[in-house]
Structure 1
Amino acid sequence: MEFRVKDILKIQVAPALGCTEPVAIALGSAAAVSLLPEKRIDAIEIWVDPNIYKNGLAVSIPGTDGLSGLDMASALGAMGGDPKLRLEVLDSVDETAVTAAIEMVKAGRVKVNLLRDQVGLHIRTVVNGGGHTAESVITGLHDNVVSLSLDDQEIVESDLLPHAAEKNGTSRLAELEAWLKALTLDQLIELLDDLDDEDRNFLQAGVDVNLRLADYGLKHGPGLGVGRTMERLVRQGLIKRDMLVAARILASSAADARMSGVKLPAMSSAGSGNHGLTAILPIVAVEEFLSVDHALVIEAIGLSHIITAYVKAYTGRLSAICGCSVAAGAGATAGITYLMGGTKQHIAGAIKNLTEDLAGVICDGAKGGCALKLATAAGTAVQAALFSLQGVNVSFTDGIIGRSPEDTMKNIGTLTTQGMIETDRTILNIMLEKQFSDV
């Protein structure tokens, strides 16, 4: 099946309010509740895969003044979420819904089950209320509602099922990823030739959305305040505002805002808001140092999304490796190199440079500290591009670096899907021990 850049953007890039893992949980609950004849909610039970559990455990939920937890996300979606908004499901949540959700969680009416052996994104939600039982299942994509049922009767027609798996069991995402894997870097770059005005306007909307988060983070310093702290260090003359630092400030300030639960959406990439921040904002930051047409910046961001999607096709949606570093970071460095006039060879070199630098960064769940990782990924994306443009290229004889950029990205996937399975379990166990410790 043949895809175009428009298809990649449609499937891989979307606005998301809050961290996409608790948001997906909220969507599952909201979707199930929408089926109940009476919107009475007595109890909720959810089953989630290890990576959804890991990423939804500690991150702040937007509009709740710092509340967190998978049970809380589920209750919020049930009490006030609008499933038609998909990844912005929590935009409709108000103070009344927050209060009701808190009471529901405190009463122990939300049960969370961890499917330790589940592979791939999976969220099953069962809501009991008014003598009825409603169920939703989300798989593959964070907003991919694949089944709905009421009192054990499957719902076949619903506006919430546009991304449902096809009869042959192959989702559109799986088809896209299989198609992407067959492309070379040259072919990935050539996809930019198909960008039309609609695509460019959509990419610009992503810039605007993510800049609003960055602006909020710089003004208010929420979360760890990484971005605002770096900006203050610049003003104090302790560090210089160069390309690397500008990229770090912009990406981390947006992550500060997003991870602290600020009620502003992010334009996601490959199913992650933080991937979207990393894929877009370092390129925006670099623009101020260059004399380039803004249309070229939009093309560079388009390439960034394409490369991010390509890497994620190998690593999977969620993994033990920080996708903001190795996937969105690869996208960002490719886009930056393209923006600076680099050739395919320069882009390939930049991707290899970044991979050598950041391949070992683990994902230990979504939380305020992600702002530090985004700062690192953003700065390294710029550095990898500059190094490649100056002739610095990591050799294929080094570690997991391949002879080609395609092989390098495949190796990242192999490392993630085969080499770090036990690492992922260990990370989750450490997090669970902390959660249930009396200390």
Structure 2
Amino acid sequence: MAENYVRVNLYWGGEVVYEEGSVRYNRRPEAVQRFPISLKYDRLQHVFISKMAISDPNLSVVITGRYQTSITARGFPIYEETLISDDDSLSLFLRSPDIFSNHISIATLDMYATVERSTNVGAPTDDEFDIRGTTYLPAMNIGLQRGTLQQETMVGVGSQSHNFGWTMQSCDIPGPSSAPDTTELDGGSIVRYHPTQVESFTERKAQKGRKKAIEMVFGDFETSFKTLPRYMAALKYFNPGTVVEWEHQSTTMQGEHIFKFLFWAYKPSIDGFKSCRPVISIDGTHLYGKYEMKLLIAVGIDANNNIFPLAYAIVARESFESWTWFLVLLWRHIVRERQGIGLISDRHQGILQCVQTHDWLQPPSTHHRFCVRHLKSNFNKKFLSSDLEKLMWLAATEHQKKKYKMRMEQIKTMSSPAYLWLKALPEEKWTLHKDNGHSYNN
């Protein structure tokens, strides 16, 4: 099979200008190359070093790429930027014209290179501690939880990943007279300067600094929505058969859409459900951040009684519309023609209305049941009694009708309102003795 090539404009020098929602270079490309999509990162580094006539072995290039994602109402292109740091990120970037071929036609890609001095993590020299003209992290007090630090730009830190708890604290570094201290880590070393003056911060300022640092590493919430189409397109490209469905609200601006719903299901989940029990549990949970979104989830149960993830959706809120949209796609792509499905959920009004509205969510195609754990939680919040809570659980899980009635009589003796609250619920929705095996098929 013939190798596929991509036309790439190479930039260096000049300035990268970040405008709202896009990025542009303020000069023309220095060179134009045709790269195979199998190009390796080391080879790309060599091309830039050769083109830029870099002879100092202590210098290296940092490469970013950009590709067109849409067009403004005035006809100007909008670009997305990405860091190219290894073979995987380079491969994904060079494949972007194919990945986004259904969304936009990308004829040419752009790469921009900047030069930096390689970090020496061995025995330091006097020149290495000359901090005049060195750019440091912005002044902020940041505390990060224990995790993996992938350091690429901090002076004096190796490029390896290190697992340790760490903090960064801003300080006034007086000059090259500061005495450095080197602490050995696995695979490298980290240099610490001992400042003569440490700046103090209020908690509010520290929190703002922490928020800014997180945005510098992971991006902000607005950018995350722009990243979703790229991520989902890559997901489908590298996992053939994976299903992704979008729904947007149109705007008057050409090429712009307002996010509404996103559904996805992995190919192994679609195929695996055929061997799972005919039971599906659905639920929604909050996504914490700037925007109050909800994550809808559907899971099954495999032959080993383990949870088997089926599908996911991100929606603005739980409602009749969003649950209907999610369940329609769940049945279309995963359940398909399978009959006798036990659907377990909480008693959210959007789900209840959806089940009552659609014939395919009613017997014999589907048997809707309440999640007893959710029901027990609601029951306990209303009546605030651990004894009643235990009896309610026993009543729900009894297989024999006479034992169920005995538990209900015990509840009636303790609290008549609790008894009436449970009796108002359809027995087949929450009790095992009336379930007929639909909520859990053995």
The alignment's TM-score, normalised by the length of structure 2, stands at 0.22
Q: Which structure has the highest strand share of the two?
A: 2
User: In proportion to residue count, which structure has more helix?
Assistant: 1
Structure of greater Rg: 2
TM-score (norm 1): 0.22
Q: Which protein has greater RCO, CA pairs closer than 8 Å, 6+ apart?
A: 1
